[in-house]
Amino acid sequence: MVSAEIKNRISALREQLEYHNYRYYVLDAPEISDAEYDRLFRELQSLEQQYPELIIPSSPSQRVGGAALTEFTQITHTTPMLSLNNAFSEDEVVAFDRRVREASELSQVDYAVEPKFDGLAISLVYERGQFVMGATRGDGYVGEDVTANLRTIRAIPLLLATPNPPQRIEIRGEVLMLKADFAALNAYQREQGLKEFANPRNAAAGSLRQLDPRITATRGLHFFAYGVGQCEGVVLPSTHGEVMDLLMAWRIPVAHERAVVQGVEGLLAYYQRIGAQRDSLAFDIDGVVYKVNDLAMQQQIGYVARAPRFAIAHKFPAQEATTQLLDIDVQVGRTGAITPVARLAPVSVGGVTVTNATLHNEDEIRRKGVLIGDWVNVRRAGDVIPEIVSVVMSRRPSDAREFVMPTTCPVCGSHIVRLPDEAIARCTGGLFCPAQRKQALWHFASRRAMDIDGLGEKLVEQLVDENLVHSPADLYRLGLLSLVNLERMAEKSARNLLAAIEHSKRTTLARFIYALGIRHVGEQTAKDLARYYGTLEAMMAADELQLQQVPEVGEVVAKSIVQFFAEPHNLTVIEMLRAAGVCWDESAPPVIQNSAISGKVFVITGTLPTMSRDEAKAKIEAMGGKASGSVSKKTDFVLAGAEPGSKFIKAQELGITILDEAEFLSLINENQGEEDGQGY
Ligand code: D41
């Protein structure tokens, strides 16, 4: 016999887990850390393992279950899932409002308004409060039974939180993938050499159409409801807005951005407001949806063909567009990396004219199968560089030709070589190549390096083209006279620049190392090196094997550092910089090597309750640890705050220790004592 105590504990755990899902997915306001959620979850799992007779299908532990399917069963929707008509301009919205006013005989109409999620429409059936079946929209009449996959989505409650649920209710909404989860998924796909997804929508679709629900479960899909289909045994409120509130009370996620507005002015103001938020939302939207708020009025206005007359989607400019690839040029980077750049016939993507897209490298061009002359789909999301998503094969011109990597640098004429084990081709011109020289200077002056305010790309270009600056050391010899002679340079800006250059002389060893632009030595590695060696001389004296003793420095980085300092030219530049007065504090003690944190790799994810990620990062680094951006087998700890996303799931999969902020702080404090007197 199982004791009442155990039964009570199990049901309390289930209730708590459902409640915290609700806090997280519906309210977007978690109360506990993921680590704490995880602890509750594991406690439930272990109790259920001990007492399997107490397992019920609606238990939060039973989201992922059953075997992989061989195919999906077809489902006929009890009431068809209609489509929405689109409006692409204000005029079309004005016309929509006019039709609604005429049909309703009202002078001003109340509208329920919400974002248009760019996901997949689905329907969820709850019987007596239990989630029993979920299906894709399909053609609106017949969809596919994806119940097992939908059960793995934590945003979808397995039970409706109400003591008197309807006999049967069909809830409609969209399944989607958050932008952050999409980025993490693609990073993972790339690492594993798997195919990347073109956009969050495709990733969500691919994840929902998995025959094995265990895969769907790892993808962290989200769900938002937008309406109710067939419904028995409950009297629904009289407006759409109130129905959405009711769903939310049942713990079904609905759009936080939803509102009720008056008249066409209200619609257009809402469109502007959500449009301005578009890039900063956690998920992709492709417009907003307007619905007559009064449900009786909706029925009076009725339908045309398969779409309601009482609702319309007002679309945003698409973030994808089709255009022609006119040519592929190459650009030369700071370390000579040759990047192919697509030159496109100008096309408006999401309201911005796009003429270039990056192609990363030669292999990527082959992988995408792009030929010069092809029609291609281009995507621009937020402020990232536009990318070529795919080729429209049916429109391939007969004279489309393959891209051939040039053998000489378009800027300096030096040979371009691609080493056998590298994806990147490089110009061998080094600092002889003006393109590389410009970028090296720009990197040297950049914010995270020497931080010379006002020395941007354009100015560097002028300084190099006018032969005023060859190496970074020349910056410290610039005079007012030569600067004011430059085009578009007023005396005031020249003085400001000289002051910024002067100011940059006092720096840190880490910044200086980073500013040198040694291949493979990014900001983090520069910090690691500075911390380990304490002085530039000590670092320059190290050989490859010694360099590899530095945490996180491997063979490739060590080789690159040794090569850099073996170059007499680089030593001259360093000497000249120091002679010009560039200096840093070398007295700061190198950080402890022996704490439990030193050498450990942390990944920070989600929002921490009391400190920013940068603060947490600084604490980790001060203790000799390292903060990394992605979870892998090398990660020692994941520090998780609210809404941690897929990094958290990956950490769980890999069995990595997950800390909340409090646990992290106590780990730091425990080790603080060891800090004193360590070092070397
Ligand atoms: O966010 C959406 N994608 C969305 C889709 C929404 N917010 N509301 C919608 N409302 C409807 C009606 C008015 C027909 C119930 C919809 C859709 N339909 C819809 N999604 C896919 C096809 C139709």
DSSP for 318-371, please give it. PSEEEEEEEEEEEEE-TT-EEEEEEEEEEEEETTEEEEEEE--SHHHHHHHT--
Tell me the sheet residues that pair with 168. Answer: 127, 232
Measured in angstroms, how far is the CA atom of residue 84 from the centroid of ligand 1?
6
Measured in angstroms, how far is the CA atom of residue 256 from the centroid of ligand 1?
16
Domain contains 310: yes
Task: Note whether 173 and 262 are same-domain residues.
Answer: yes
Task: Note whether 102 and 15 are same-domain residues.
Answer: no
pLDDT of residue 196: 80
- Contact predicate 112/148, CB 8 Å: no
Ligand 1: atom nearest CA of 307 is 14
**286, 315, 344 - which closes a domain:** 315
Q: In angstroms, what is the C-alpha Rg of the chain? A: 30
d(CA 602, CA 614): 13
pLDDT of residue 622: 76
Q: What is the pTM of this model?
A: 0.61
The per-residue pLDDT of the chain, averaged, comes to 90
Instruction: Please indicate whether residue 676 or residue 570 has the higher confidence score (pLDDT).
Output: 570
* Residue of 77, 81, 84 best suited for mutating to test ligand 1, as the one with most atoms within 8 Å of CB: 84
Q: Is 314 in the pocket of ligand 1 (CB under 6 A)?
A: no
Give the DSSP H/E element, type plus range, for residue 136: strand 130-136
Q: Is 240 in the pocket of ligand 1 (CB under 6 A)?
A: no
Q: Is the pLDDT of residue 54 over 90?
A: yes
Task: Note whether 167 and 266 are same-domain residues.
Answer: yes
DSSP per-residue codes, 524-550: HHHHHHHHHHSSHHHHHH--HHHHTTS
**What is the per-residue pLDDT across 473-524, written as a single tens digit (0 to 9) for each?**
999 999 999 999 898 889 999 999 999 999 999 999 999 999 999 988 999 8
Ligand 1: atom nearest CA of 289 is 7
CA nearest ligand 1 atom 9, residue: 226
Determine the average pLDDT of the residues in 152-177.
96
Q: Is 308 in the pocket of ligand 1 (CB under 6 A)?
A: yes
609: CATH:
3.40.50.10190
d(CA 396, CA 369): 11
Q: Is the pLDDT of residue 258 over 70?
A: yes
- Please give the order of strands across the beta sheet that includes 285-292: 86-87, 311-315, 285-292, 110-117, 259-262
Determine the structural domain holding residue 670 and report its residue range.
601-677
Please state the length of the chain: 680
672 pLDDT tier (thresholds 50, 70, 90): low
Q: 3-state class of 229 per DSSP?
A: strand
Task: Estimate to the nearest angstrom the gap between the alpha carbon of 79 and the chain centroid.
Answer: 37
60 pLDDT tier (thresholds 50, 70, 90): very high
The tokens 């999969």 sit on which residue?
653
679 pLDDT tier (thresholds 50, 70, 90): very low
pLDDT of residue 600: 87
Domain contains 382: yes
18: CATH:
1.10.287.610
Determine the average pLDDT of the residues in 58-84.
89
Give the DSSP H/E element, type plus range, for residue 123: strand 120-127
CA nearest ligand 1 atom 15, residue: 227
**What is the per-residue pLDDT across 510-538, written as a single tens digit (0 to 9) for each?**
999 999 999 889 998 999 999 889 999 99
Measured in angstroms, how far is the CA atom of residue 85 from the centroid of ligand 1?
10
Closest CA to 138 of 117, 127, 123: 123
Task: Note whether 630 and 570 are same-domain residues.
Answer: no
Task: Note whether 444 and 556 are same-domain residues.
Answer: yes
* Token pair recorded at residue 44: 């439930």
Q: Is the pLDDT of residue 207 over 70?
A: yes
- Phi/psi of residue 672, nearest 5 degrees: -60, -40
Task: Note whether 330 and 307 are same-domain residues.
Answer: no
Measured in angstroms, how far is the CA atom of residue 224 from the centroid of ligand 1?
11
Ligand 1: atom nearest CA of 310 is 13
- Phi/psi of residue 282, nearest 5 degrees: -75, -10
CA nearest ligand 1 atom 4, residue: 116
Q: Is the pLDDT of residue 104 over 50?
A: yes
Q: Is the pLDDT of residue 647 over 70?
A: yes
Q: Is 289 in the pocket of ligand 1 (CB under 6 A)?
A: yes
- Phi/psi of residue 554, nearest 5 degrees: -105, -170
CA nearest ligand 1 atom 1, residue: 116
Q: Report the percent of the chain where pLDDT is more than 90.
A: 66
Measured in angstroms, how far is the CA atom of residue 386 from the centroid of ligand 1?
29
- Contact predicate 334/522, CB 8 Å: no
Q: Is 602 in the pocket of ligand 1 (CB under 6 A)?
A: no
Domain contains 80: no
Domain contains 404: no
Task: Note whether 486 and 552 are same-domain residues.
Answer: yes
Q: Which residues are catalytic?
A: 116
381 pLDDT tier (thresholds 50, 70, 90): low
**395, 428, 448 - which closes a domain:** 395
Q: Is 169 in the pocket of ligand 1 (CB under 6 A)?
A: no
Domain contains 448: yes
* Residue of 223, 226, 247, 315 best suited for mutating to test ligand 1, as the one with most atoms within 8 Å of CB: 226
573: CATH:
1.10.150.20
d(CA 175, CA 205): 8
Q: Is the pLDDT of residue 33 over 90?
A: no
Give the DSSP H/E element, type plus range, for residue 659: strand 657-659
Task: Note whether 215 and 179 are same-domain residues.
Answer: yes
Task: Note whether 127 and 144 are same-domain residues.
Answer: yes
Q: At what angle do helices 661-672 and 613-622 cross, to 10 degrees?
A: 30
pLDDT of residue 676: 36
Ligand 1: atom nearest CA of 119 is 3
Q: Is 643 in the pocket of ligand 1 (CB under 6 A)?
A: no
Task: Note whether 616 and 525 are same-domain residues.
Answer: no
Q: Is 290 in the pocket of ligand 1 (CB under 6 A)?
A: no
Q: How many CB atoms lie within 10 A of CB 569?
A: 9
Q: Is 174 in the pocket of ligand 1 (CB under 6 A)?
A: yes
Determine the average pLDDT of the residues in 422-426.
86
Q: Is 121 in the pocket of ligand 1 (CB under 6 A)?
A: yes
214 pLDDT tier (thresholds 50, 70, 90): very high
673 pLDDT tier (thresholds 50, 70, 90): very low
pLDDT of residue 677: 32
The tokens 């030709």 sit on which residue?
401
671 pLDDT tier (thresholds 50, 70, 90): low
* Token pair recorded at residue 474: 């020349």
Closest CA to 134 of 93, 81, 179: 81
* Token pair recorded at residue 644: 């941690």
Ligand 1: atom nearest CA of 117 is 1
Q: Is the pLDDT of residue 65 over 80?
A: no
d(CA 286, CA 278): 9
Domain contains 124: yes
Ligand 1: atom nearest CA of 116 is 1
- Contact predicate 509/591, CB 8 Å: no
Question: What's the domain count of the chain?
Answer: 5
Measured in angstroms, how far is the CA atom of residue 288 from the centroid of ligand 1?
10
Q: 3-state class of 581 per DSSP?
A: coil
Task: Note whether 549 and 667 are same-domain residues.
Answer: no
Domain contains 594: no
Measured in angstroms, how far is the CA atom of residue 83 from the centroid of ligand 1?
7
Going along 333-475, which residue ranges are E strands? 337-349, 352-358, 375-379, 387-391, 416-417, 425-427
pLDDT of residue 593: 57
Determine the average pLDDT of the residues in 628-657.
86
Domain contains 76: no
Measured in angstroms, how far is the CA atom of residue 178 from the centroid of ligand 1?
19
Task: Note whether 51 and 179 are same-domain residues.
Answer: no
pLDDT of residue 159: 95
List, in order, residues 6 or more apart from 276 with CB less than 8 Å away.
none
* Token pair recorded at residue 222: 């989200």
Measured in angstroms, how far is the CA atom of residue 114 from the centroid of ligand 1?
10
pLDDT of residue 242: 97
**What is the per-residue pLDDT across 587-600, written as a single tens digit (0 to 9) for each?**
555 555 566 787 88
221 pLDDT tier (thresholds 50, 70, 90): very high
333: CATH:
2.40.50.140
